[in-house]
Amino acid sequence: MNLQAVIFAHTRSELDLLARVGAGEGLLEAASHCAGEEQLFDVLENRNVELILYSCDQRGPEALLWLKNLAKRDRWKEIPVVVFTGEEQVETRVAALEMGACDVLSFTTPGPEIAARLRCRLRERKEIKKIKKSREDLARVALTDGLTGLCNRAFFDASLESEAARSARTGASYSLLLVDVDHFKWVNDTYGHQLGDTVLQAIARVLRHAVRKSDMAFRYGGEEFALLLPETDIPKAQVLAARIHREIADLAADYAHFRQPLTVSIGISCCPGEETVEGALIFEQADCALYSAKRNGRNRTEIFQFGKTEFKASEMHAPSNLRM
């Protein structure tokens, strides 16, 4: 058994003793050694550690406080910790288990028993990782649109409220873009839903590649998409909208046989940050701007000016030869 393990011991003699305990059964050939909590966390940061062995020989429960700090780190709190003590250190052994150690052994425990216990701890860790991955996969499926691979409506609703709360807390601005495919019903009715799905997938790829890593792209429903842009004001949102129009225009060449050119309409709303605004209101404003873009000819961007009732047509709408 060649483990990615850490041997944590305060003195060289303890470290050598613990290393010999592992080596006796062919364990821990690749183990890292450390003598303090800071060094331990540095090793955990840089290696994929599966097991921690800690020597607490002749020390009281206060020497185990680092276990509480380990438990506060989400990335590492599930790493199994096996503590070695003297058989007579009953108080320390109990404290180790209460603070999160998965097992407590003595230096006189027979080698075969140590190996069996470590294998048991590693099997448990493997099962925990499988369960955690299964849960993550299920959560990802639940929050992902099956057709486009973008985040879905449920995730959008939660993300918008989360961003609104963050903006209220920090004073940071954010913008919301609603993107709607123009005349999409005509595409479905004329060429069928299968080609309509292909169009939606192509547009989703454009949106996914257009946003930054900090931004989020969603399929809101049907032919409507949403882009949530943290720490983004109106001018920056306009730049993104213009890029989307350009890239959709390039994409339209793949559908040149359409009697109606492939275009999108975009509505933008922005929370300026200095005011506390519910996410639902920002959505309503972006939706109003999108409606205005549709009403004013499609294939364009409209902006809802926060605090004003009128709309402003973006100067960065699509090229005039593609307007409808």
Residues 261-308: pLDDT tens digits?
A: 899 999 999 998 777 789 999 999 999 999 999 999 999 999 997 555
- What does the block give as tokens for 227? 């882009």
CA distances for 254 relative to 151, 203, 261, 262, 322, angstroms: 25, 12, 10, 9, 15
Give yes or no for a contact between 163 and 228, defined as CB atoms under 8 angstroms apart: yes
Give yes or no for a contact between 264 and 180, defined as CB atoms under 8 angstroms apart: yes
pLDDT at 24: 54
Digit-coded pLDDT (tens) for 87-114: 788 888 899 999 999 999 988 888 788 8
Q: How large is the average pLDDT for residues 26-31?
A: 60
Find the radius of gyration of the CA atoms of the chain. Answer: 29
pLDDT at 322: 30
Digit-coded pLDDT (tens) for 162-219: 999 999 988 999 999 999 999 999 999 999 999 999 999 999 999 999 999 999 999 9
Give yes or no for a contact between 285 and 211, defined as CB atoms under 8 angstroms apart: no
- 26 falls in which pLDDT band (50, 70, 90)? low
Mean pLDDT across the chain, nearest whole number?
85
Task: Lowest mean pLDDT of 12-21, 33-42, 288-297, 315-324, name the range.
Answer: 315-324
Q: Kindly tell me if the per-residue pLDDT of 321 is higher than 90.
A: no
Q: How large is the average pLDDT for residues 33-44?
A: 86
Digit-coded pLDDT (tens) for 110-169: 878 888 888 888 888 888 888 888 887 777 778 899 999 999 999 999 999 999 999 998
pLDDT at 36: 85
Q: Specify the long-range contacts of residues 28-34, CB closer than 8 Å, at least 24 apart.
A: 28/3, 28/53, 29/2, 30/2, 30/3, 30/4, 30/5, 31/3, 31/5, 31/6, 31/7, 32/5, 32/6, 32/7, 33/6, 33/7, 33/9, 34/6, 34/7, 34/8
**Domain architecture of the chain: domains with CATH:** 5-141 (3.40.50.2300), 153-322 (3.30.70.270)
Pairing mode, if any, of strands 51-55 and 5-8? Answer: parallel
pLDDT at 323: 29
CA distances for 19 relative to 29, 77, 108, 164, 313, angstroms: 9, 23, 14, 53, 71
Q: Kindly tell me if the per-residue pLDDT of 309 is higher than 90.
A: no
Catalytic residues: 223
pLDDT at 13: 80
